[in-house]
Amino acid sequence: MEEFASAEPTQVLSASEMGDPPYRARIAVSAVFAVFGILVGSWLPHLPDVKQNLGGTDAMIGQALLCSGLGAVVSMQLMGSLIHRFGSRNTSFFGGVVACLLVPLLLTHHSLPILCVNLFILGLGYGVLDVGMNAHAMEVQRRFPRPIIASVHGWFSFGGIIGGLGAALAVKLNVAAVPHLAVTSAVLLGVLMVSRINMLPSGADQDSDGPKFMIPRGFLLVLGVMCAAAFVVEGGLLDWSAIYVRENLGADAVYGGIITGVCSGAMALGRFLGDPILKRYGNRIVAMGGGALCTGGILAAVSVPSLWVCMAGFAVASFGLANVVPTIFNQGGRIPGIPTGAGVVAITTCGYGGFLLGPPVVGMISTKVTLAIGLGTLALLGVIIIVGAARFTEPVATHDPKNQLPEEA
């Protein structure tokens, strides 16, 4: 990444060439979000194959996924310094390259320790990509007169649809997992290269000061717990839905990819509709309704032994979750006496802590009891979201750009 800091390539567009507002930069950063979504959606449906390669249990898969989360958390602690030195354009590109190169290797391991090392390094790339693209999206947002963050995040979910359906198509055509992921990663690397050229110059946020971290207390702690709950459910559904439909419901392998696409599709729809929904109903009702849909959808999915009920239930839960985190950030950025940046960092840290612990906890519960019960416990987290959202009382200007803050992607 040092070469990126020393000089800008001649083909990178200047701010004047991008126009005001910078539509090319918006398309470019949206493409990066889509790349991340496609990458995740492409490989998660192959988790049952990873499990088969290891000859292991759900608990083993959960432990391996924990390594990915640990890697992401580690790299996120360095992102303030990395963006300060290299800019979000370069950090997001570098993280994306690392992720694309490592994903095809996940299906080649027959040793749990080697898989864990691969996932840890993949998590490092995920963390750099995630924070970098979100920081760049905020820089693009500042140059637009209207909110665009919700739709930009929607492209991550849309990418998950493409990735999941692509994995299902590969299974249907009898294309092995490794070639499928290798070709997908090669295409995505090309998209990243083109996107980097059209993103804002590194100077847009290079040398900028990052927000300071603060330990969450009071209402900020409530928001942090809610964010963690939402991230646990989102991670649990993405990581375990393919295994559940294939092993518990006896569905064909092609449905492992379809269920991932369904969850991502429902979340994408919710995010693309997010701004008008929040404008009409407000943060409190949207968050409480989202928690209710999350709880009801998951309970229906794991209570009825039907593939179609399961897919519908997970879709409802994903749609409900889509705009919960944005409402949490809206509230966190408006707590009296707490700087917006500091509040957001504290909430995000709690959220990724939940994303880190969620999948392995589901795996351990499913090993002790059943995967249906493990996924069913996620429904309880929807109740936590409802209870916390009941404290959302202050009015929020939903079209203020600082209210549209990045989640995870």
Residue with tokens 């990045």: 406
**pLDDT one-digit tens code per residue, 167-190:** 888 888 888 889 999 999 999 999
One-letter amino acid of 362: V
Tell me what the mean pLDDT of segment 355-377 comes to: 81
Q: For residue 379, give both structure tokens.
A: 């429904």
User: How does residue 238 score in pLDDT terms, banded at 50, 70 and 90?
Assistant: confident
Ranges for all domains in the chain classified under CATH 1.20.1250.20: 19-200, 211-398
pLDDT tens-digit series, residues 122-160? 999 998 898 788 778 878 877 877 667 777 888 888 898
> What CATH code is assigned to 19-200?
1.20.1250.20
Q: What is the pLDDT of residue 214?
A: 61
Quick check: helix, strand or coil at residue 76?
helix
Sign of CA dihedral 393, 398, 402, 408: positive
Euclidean distance between CA atoms 152 and 165, whole angstroms: 21
Could you give the maximum distance between any two Cα atoms of the chain, in Å? 60
Quote the tokens at residue 402: 């600082």
- pLDDT tens-digit readout, 84-118: 788 889 999 999 999 999 999 988 888 888 999 99
Which among 35, 61, 48 has a CA at the least distance from the CA of 166? Answer: 35
Predicted confidence (pLDDT) per residue in 42-67, tens digit: 988 888 888 888 877 777 887 788 88
Query: Class of 211-398 per CATH?
Result: mainly alpha
